Chain A
Amino acid sequence: MTVAQLPVPPARGCRTTPLLKERGQREVFCGLTGIIWLHRKMQDAFFLVVGSRTCAHLLQSAAGVMIFAEPRFGTAILEEKDLAGLADANAELDREVARLLARRPDIRQLFLVGSCPSEVIKLDLHRAAERLSALHAPSVRVYNYSGSGIETTFTQGEDACLAAMVPALPASQARELLLVGALPDVIEDQALALLKALGIGPVRCLPARTADGLPGVGPNTVFALTQPFLGDTHAALIGRGARHIPAPFPFGEEGTTAWLAAVAAEFGVPPAHFEQVTAAPRARARKAVAAHAATLNGKSLFFLPDSQLEPPLARFLTRECGMTAIEVGTPYLHRDILGPDLDLLAEGPVISEGQDVERQLDRVRAARPDLTICGLGLANPLEAEGLTTKWAIELVFTPVHFYEQAGDLAGLFSRPLRRRALLNPEAAE
């Protein structure tokens, strides 16, 4: 079987495109939301938000039905009396943590997660984590990070969490590959299998599934990011002497191949062997994407900022599915991390960072894109205006990375378009 070749890299990518930076109302989640998928990944961790009823309500709204499954997260809600004096708040926190750990003896890692209220009243959760770590050692290790809206946007919560773990990782002199970013288990297993077939190892993951599996880090560690939103973790790992392997992110056939190729080059895998290992899954991925590309080809695309996944996804959708990007919005753009993806994204779209949601919606309405990727607060209102939308949060919860999911990833974008055509057969003529 022959497979179609990917388009050649554009003469000019978007790496140096001037950013449209905006400030104003942002329609995004705060970093607390990261807890929803992080706690699934770290099986012996509990995430305790120190915040308000709003924080608890947010987690409840974002977690949907998952909250009924005794999840390993909760909120210590600040009450009036906690605001009156700070000394009292620390004692209250210690008591709640002791109660929690008594009830959940299976917990090995406890994250004290800062929120807007706890940051504004300057509750020192860092010191609280140190104090509680000493108190509950050695069975429980207590970390802290901030998932507050004033500091973090959506997936940045994962970055803050992982970056908080880096200083505590054991030192290691071993030459190991570290995969950084919480992936669904099925994806992580596929990635590990591919790397093993390429003869690359040992490979460790951050986050690990349990506290026992925490990787070591040191000057011989090389790491590859599987998610684009890990700027602080990237810096923290470099701070520990590890070296980053720059690569496009593993979305679609092209992204996965380029990502694997970058890692393979680092470990001196012979090209013939690389070809032999990747040929079959590459062909499968192309075939699976082709099934959806027919729907997506030639359609225009507008990303509102949400997760920082927007630039690599725009690269996938334009190059592998034939879409045209009008605007690629992202809450933050780490140029160093996203450089390889921006090189592959052909010049043309507006790359915007930050948001003034009203002005951005004016641009959406003026452009009338075929597909708008946005949050759930905007999706139905835009549908009611006759625009087709794909809600963005699903891209974070659904397995979308690497070869076997390339078709599913394209399917997430083609489905709303096929649905609109199905429900409006006369308009599709």
Chain B
Amino acid sequence: MKLTLWTYEGPTHVGAMRVATAMQGLHYVLHAPQGDTYADLLFTMIERRNARPPVSYTTFQARDLGSDTAHLFKTACKEAYDRFRPEAILVGASCTAELIQDDTGGLAEALELPVPVIPLELPSYQRKENFGADETFLQICRKLAKPMARTEAVSCNLLGATALGFRHRDDVAEITALLGEIGVAVNVCAPLGAAPHDIARMGAAHFNVLLYPETGESAARWAEKTLGQPYTKVVPIGAGATRDFIAEVAALAGLTPRVDESRLRQPWWSASVDSTYLTGKRVFLFGDATHVMAAARIARDEIGFEVVGMGCYNREFARPMRALAKSYGLEALITDDYLEVEEAIQGLAPELILGTQMERHMAKRLGIPCAVISAPVHVQDFPARYSPQMGFEGANVIFDTWVHPLVMGLEEHLLTMFREDFEFHDAAGASHHGGKAVAAAPQASAPAAEGSVPEADRPPAPLDTQAPDPASIVWLSDAEAELKKIPFFVRGKARRNTERYAADKGLSRISIDTLYEAKAHYAR
């Protein structure tokens, strides 16, 4: 048993629902108790879908336990077929039904329905949502896709886009357009938007574009082996990755890469002088491995941040994640425990967090700017406007998204210049962050008056509760006053650095000199 509050991923059958809901003409019959229908609202509310997910639940109750549940399953399966007339049926069990061990596949076969039945084995006590999606899509491909003659013109399949995917809708549009410019047609995009008869003609594509390894890699590997289709390894998130992706696709297609980059604004935005202040901003990355690995490259090589920590919650991708982190001189944080992530963030004190919904809330609590780069996400990250992460427009979107939460360069400069101003004093906070302006505290001028008091006679300054060794380090009031002149959004870091410096030097008191020596020590 493991005590959990937050889960980054849902159970495996939610992954299967993401595939079923992404597709057309497919129905999923889920052996599950009353209440498991809660997952429907992820699709109807977070993704704002206008139809119910194509999922029927057996809704067994306590009194049904025993032989009756198998009968319930057969009835639900038959009724679902009669009502929805799907081209194919997925059958499986949720975590509770896994325990009662009805053979859903066998029961469904016994009905002799006139359409393919695809049984799913999704171990819900070992694996999670992404596995469920990946495995479901693999089983659908195995059942329905067959080797066949290639299309005359060069074409590819797009693999891995699902329902409830972070920006999947717009990524598919962006990459479809990009491939069109290269001269490659999309044969089938799946699971998103595909029907079982589309899966059946997947074999006609020349190669596969694997958009999301988390949800499409097993199918891509299977297609490589069985259908003879190579698949792309570069995920086109970021300008550099998109260029690499174009080169990879062109090589697979045997075409010359020709793509219009005129709409790509991110490199110039990054090069412009207002972006100079972004240099070396310390950023922490967390999310699914694919988005984090792409974000690391953008952060360091395209925006000029310093990546101070990275990790992912999906253990399936721990190996590549660790390797990449190592190349950044970091140790990857592989965990699905949000408390560990929060601890790591607190220890690193980054200036920007790029993460999921959970990191967004941690950032709010810690007062650190944050942008969302990966699922799980909430309703606001299924926007009405076009906002891909992939391709050149995706690079533009990412630049705006990441930079907005930071105080812009000019603003930062002005805030520093006018920090004693009545409207911009520290206690006023930043109004555009939802903070409320308050009057300057009357003791703001007190340190100057205290200047005449001999230092030894003064009471020790209040200690920061986050000081590394609060018992032994004291801020002298001059130094405390000087610290207050530092803009509020970097003051916490200055305080911690100074205290760490003092502790390293064995100093028990921090004077103005200590403060500036520490500043010089940590200067970069």
State in angstroms the CA–CA spacing of A275 and B56 once bound together: 53
Decide: A380 and B3 in contact? CB cutoff 8 A: no
Question: Is B401 part of the contact surface with A, judged by Cβ < 8 Å?
Answer: no
Task: Knowing A68-B361, A358-B79, A378-B52, say if A25 contacts B58 (CB, 8 Å).
Answer: yes
Closest 10 CB pairs of A and B: A30-B35, A149-B35, A377-B40, A384-B50, A116-B96, A52-B95, A376-B41, A149-B34, A68-B361, A149-B33
A197 to B9: give the CA distance in the assembly, Å.
52
Which stretch (A92-100, A247-255, A334-342) binds chain B?
A92-100
Distance of A106 Cα from B364 Cα, bound (Å):
25
- The size bracket of the interface on B is 35 or more
State the CA gap A149–B58 with chains docked (Å): 12
- Other A-B contacts than A96-B3, A149-B34, 4 sampled, CB-CB below 8 A, are A50-B1, A57-B14, A58-B38, A76-B1
Residue B49 lies at the interface, judged by CB distance under 8 Å to chain A = yes
List 30 contacting pairs A-B, 8 Å CB cutoff, sorted by A: A24-B59, A25-B56, A25-B59, A25-B76, A26-B34, A27-B37, A29-B35, A29-B38, A30-B35, A30-B38, A32-B35, A52-B11, A53-B11, A54-B124, A68-B361, A68-B365, A77-B4, A80-B123, A80-B126, A83-B125, A100-B3, A116-B35, A116-B95, A150-B64, A377-B38, A378-B44, A380-B45, A381-B49, A381-B50, A384-B50
Which size bracket describes the interface of A in this complex?
35 or more
Minimum distance in angstroms from B286 CB to a CB of chain A: 16
Q: What does DSSP make chain B's interface, helix, strand, loop or mixed?
A: mixed
Partner of B36, one of A68, A149, A381: A149
Q: Which of A27, A28, A148 has the most CB of B within 10 A?
A: A27
A82 to B2, CA, bound (A): 10
Give Cα A237 to B36, complex, Å: 31
Contact A53 B128 (CB under 8 A): yes
Q: Which of B1-31 contact A (CB under 8 A)?
A: 1-7, 9-11, 13-14
B57 and A79 form a contact (CB under 8 A):
no
- Interface assignment of A61: CB less than 8 Å from any CB of chain B: yes
Tell me the bound Cα distance from A60 to B377 in angstroms.
12
Whether A116 contacts B41 by the Cβ 8 Å rule is no
Question: Is A19 an interface residue when CB atoms closer than 8 A count as contact?
Answer: no
With beta carbons under 8 angstroms apart, the residue of A74, A116, A379 that contacts B3 is A74
Other-chain residue from A33, A48, A77 in contact with B2 (beta carbon distance below 8 A): A77
Q: Are A82 and B99 in contact (CB under 8 A)?
A: no
Would A92 and B1 count as touching, CB distance under 8 A? Answer: yes
A353 vs chain B, min Cβ distance (A): 14
Contact of A54 among B10, B76, B123 (CB under 8 A): B10
Binding site for B on A (CB under 8 A): 24-33, 48, 50, 52-54, 56-58, 60-62, 65, 67-68, 71, 73-80, 82-83, 89, 92-93, 95-96, 99-100, 116-117, 119-121, 148-151, 153, 358, 375-381, 383-384
B126: chain A residues at CB < 8 Å are: 79-80
A92 CB, min distance to chain B CBs, angstroms: 4
Choose one: A28, A93, A383, A384; the contact of B34 (CB below 8 Å).
A28
Most buried by B among A54, A61, A89, A99: A54
Measured CA separation A151–B61 after assembly (Å): 6
A273 to B396, CA, bound (A): 71
CB contact list, B110-136 vs A, under 8 A: 123-126, 128
Which chain A residues lie closer than 8 Å to B361 at the CB level?
Answer: 65, 68
Taken residue by residue from 42 to 80, chain B's Cβ proximity to chain A (1 for < 8 Å, 0 otherwise) reads as: 101100111110001111111011000000000010010
A57 lies within 8 A of B7 (CB): yes
* Nearest CB of B to A192, in Å: 33
B38 adjacent to A89 (CB under 8 Å): no
Nearest to B30 among chain A residues (CB) is: A25
- Tell whether B83 is near chain A: CB-to-CB under 8 Å: yes
Residue among B7, B57, B124 with the highest chain A CB neighbour number at 10 A: B7
Query: What's the Cα separation between A172 and B1 when bound, in Å?
Result: 40
Given A25-B58, A77-B1, does the pair A120, B7 have CB atoms closer than 8 Å?
no
| Any A CB within 8 A of the CB of B251 | no
Give B242 Cβ to nearest chain A Cβ, in Å. Answer: 34
Q: By the criterion CB–CB under 8 Å, are A26 and B59 in contact?
A: yes
Report A-chain residues with C-beta under 8 Å of the C-beta of B208. none
**Cβ distance B8 to chain A, nearest Cβ, rounded Å:** 10
Contact call B40/A27, Cβ cutoff below 8 A:
yes
- The interface residues of chain A lying within 8 Å CB-to-CB of B42 are 61
Q: Which residues of A contact B99 (CB under 8 A)?
A: 83, 117, 120-121
Please state if A75 and B3 are interface contacts (CB–CB under 8 Å). yes
Interface pair A380/B48, CB less than 8 Å apart: yes
Which residues on the A side are within 8 Å of B157 (C-beta)?
none
Interface string of B266-310 (1 = CB under 8 A from A): 000000000000000000000000000000000000000000000
**List of A residues within 8 angstroms of B5 by Cβ:** 56, 67, 71, 73-75
Contact yes or no, A116 B1, CB < 8 A = no
Q: Are B62 and A151 in contact (CB under 8 A)?
A: yes
| Smallest CB separation, B79 vs chain A (Å) | 7
- Closest A residue, CB atoms, query B95: A52
* Nearest chain A CB to B201 CB, angstrom units: 30
- B417 within 8 Å of A by Cβ? no
**Shortest beta-carbon distance, A426 to chain B, in Å?**
22
- Residue B125 contacts which of A29, A80, A100 (CB distance < 8 angstroms)? A80
Question: What's the minimum C-beta distance from A154 to chain B, rounded to whole angstroms?
Answer: 8
